Structure 1
């Protein structure tokens, strides 16, 4: 196949210091929107979907296939310090693909706003395209995705607020976009997510949260990475059972408190799925062209393998390649060959 290259219009930028809801100011390069008549829009791929559907996996698959670089748009994964809790893709699963805006902020940096993300990600896209690579944006934080991609962005309006009308969704995009929605049926996904929480705990989640716990900071409003699922649930546990009490025999009360924290994580994760799906549906109703990729069978096969229910059909990886990867590759090929 002939090599596909990408050319980028110049990005006009000025440097300013932006202070957000944070304990310290940070320097953010603000990319000012410019009218660019008769200049082709840069081509980007966006992979969205609810938590736990395989978005990161697909982004790496496509980046390796099309010589791309990945720009994270998950609002919790922009932070470092809670890699297990935020499900930050580990280095050994990144496939050697450059990742941008992934684990780049400290918890003390506070809340990254959609406006700030728009500016930072705009510069990342410009840099990726200038290197002749395909920008692949991945993340389920659709407030960030909307802020980044729309032509007319209003930082004072939350288009996903319960009171916001459909007219707040802008369908005029400033990039030439190929958008995928990786979807999994809820019963299958909920079981997968509950299993994932158990796996996170086995990987050291509780120890990570215990080291992160700060009774003074966590008594105030939750900002930034402190909104991550698991932080609030285990904060309640650590208030009663501090880190230094982890040794020794657990009494019944402690076991119940621990189980409640784990249960709370699982329930909140499943509620998040419904919220994220509602936002995707609002984007579609608002005029966004989004291609749905059904990863249900691949996730189900993974669940069956975990439970020992191995059938004679294809493996989870084989189903993923057929139902998700191959379909997305064909779509991106057509997208890149379009004028």
Structure 2
């Protein structure tokens, strides 16, 4: 799982990267590994660097962070503008140096592969998008700045799409609608969407809030308002599933470009969560048990070997 060779004099710092599409459990695994290996987590999700709409960005809540220090998570305000890959490279490099200086393991987690590539590629050109349809594999630099152990947490699309549709419903139940209503700015939303305003949910509810602004968002909902609301929720689910396909394409491009990435299959754990039991799998294990067996134990053994390497 090592990427790149150490220089003749100074060995490269070791880091772990956890990537994957939205909703596969990357943040959960990062906390599991950080606890096991005394690590600190560096967020590389381009939406989760912002504060303000934590439900929409699926920012890991404090009670699930397990006391593990997190860097670049909710540190920026929406009005700060859009954080570019080049800026992320600089900020995350400083975070890695800080974690390493404490003698701890830096664990990078996030599905924004433009950020992951910008941070890790030895030769990074901010003027080139390596994931653009017109870009060739030669734009994916196989030589990395760090000695890396990279995991891809994957889930079969059919299972993941159902999980994500359920997750949108849970986000609504948790107060997403109210959070977006407070965040909505009709002046800003008439212009280009930058930074956190690209988050799924903001655009989808734009039409609703333009038709039914907060001052009119009281009283009985008529059929038109209900339909507009349901259209926004449906659009969120569709765009989330489309995002999965785009994220997976980028991971595959990294692999084809020379990145060594270990795939972890979390399908059974997510399926058990959907079914509330894994009896259909004939294992009699809970989702948590399957996650521990299929994902945590395998990744822990891989990281152990990685850290023992010279």
TM score, norm. by length of structure 2: 0.96
Residue 202 of structure 1 corresponds to 173
Residue 12 of structure 2 corresponds to 41
Q: Contact (CA 8 Å) 1:78, 1:101: kept in 2 or not?
A: yes
- Separation in 2, partners of 1:214, 1:44: 40
Deviation at 1:113, TM superposition (A): 0.5
1:287 to 250, 258, 266: 258
Deviation at 1:244, TM superposition (A): 2.0
Residue 57 of structure 1 corresponds to 28
- Separation in 1, partners of 2:201, 2:118: 27
- Give SS of 1:233's match: coil
- Separation in 2, partners of 1:93, 1:299: 18
- Separation in 1, partners of 2:283, 2:265: 21
Number of residue-to-residue matches in the alignment: 305
Structure 1 residues 307 and 220: CA distance shift in structure 2, 3 A: farther
Residue 45 of structure 2 corresponds to 74
- Give SS of 1:231's match: coil
Residue 30 of structure 1 corresponds to none
Q: Contact (CA 8 Å) 1:304, 1:310: kept in 2 or not?
A: no
| CA deviation profile, 1:117-163 (whole Å, cap 9, x unmatched) | 00000000000000000000000000000000011110110101111
Q: Contact (CA 8 Å) 2:278, 2:287: kept in 1 or not?
A: no
Q: Contact (CA 8 Å) 2:41, 2:69: kept in 1 or not?
A: yes
Does 2:208 align with 1:232?
no
Query: What are the within-5 Å matches in structure 2 for residues 159-238 of structure 1?
Result: 159-238=130-209
| CA deviation profile, 1:261-298 (whole Å, cap 9, x unmatched) | 00000000000000000000000000000000000000
Give the aligned CA root-mean-square deviation in angstroms: 1.7
Moved over 4 A (4+): 306-312
Residue 248 of structure 1 corresponds to 219
Structure 1 residues not aligned, in runs of 5+: 1-34
Q: Which has the higher contact order (CA 8 A, sep 6+)?
A: 2
1:322 to 290, 293, 297: 293
Structure 2 residues not aligned, in runs of 5+: 1-5
